[in-house]
Amino acid sequence: MIRTADFTAESIDDSETHVLQPLLERCEDYHQLAYGRPALPDQARNIPNERPPGLAPGQGHLFALRDAQGGLAGMLEALRDYPAQGEWYIGLLLLAPEARGQGRGEAVLSAYEAHVRANGGRMLRVAVVEHNAGGRRFWTRVGFQPEQWVGPIEQGLLKNRILKMTKALG
């Protein structure tokens, strides 16, 4: 279980991703940066379909981050042993606008890193959209190093360059 002082992570099965839709809709700022549009009405249901092909069952992890009252305050989507054994890939760490800027993202990441280490992970990977300067600052601040730029890649209405970043877990 992943817990912080403010959040408890609830594992979400691929068949239950619709519970994340209200969060995605509240995070229009992120969707405008990444896709050039608000979240689609079925954005949450499509999360499992956006994963790379050929993953083993259980390799994808999806967590709803719940506040003390049980409200949906964020989400974390990741892949275990991707792209290689011992490397875990964070697809999305997203907090509701009202939950940002208070150290909660760092706390979630720290708790997730402990989970990854306990399960044999030795490295975390993330990819950040070029126009997401705040996201790049966050990932750099928490110890991720730039690896390489890729793209442009078509995402929604945009073509984005993506910065791949890594963090070795000691």
In a domain, 42, yes or no: yes
In a domain, 168, yes or no: no
The dihedral through the CA atoms of 46, 50, 54, 56 has a sign that is: negative
In a domain, 131, yes or no: no
pLDDT tens digits in sequence order for the chain, 170 residues long: 789 999 999 999 999 999 999 999 999 999 999 999 999 999 999 999 899 999 998 899 999 999 999 999 999 999 999 999 999 999 999 999 999 988 999 999 999 999 999 999 999 999 999 989 999 999 999 999 999 999 999 999 999 999 999 999 98
Cα–Cα distance between 138 and 70 in angstroms, integer?
26
Please answer whether residues 46 and 106 qualify as being in contact, where contact means their C-beta atoms are separated by less than 8 angstroms: no
Q: Residue 47 is part of a domain; what is its CATH number?
A: 3.40.630.30
The type of residue at 27 is C
In a domain, 37, yes or no: yes
In a domain, 111, yes or no: yes
What is the number of structural domains in the chain? Answer: 1
Q: Which domain holds residue 82?
A: 8-126
In a domain, 65, yes or no: yes
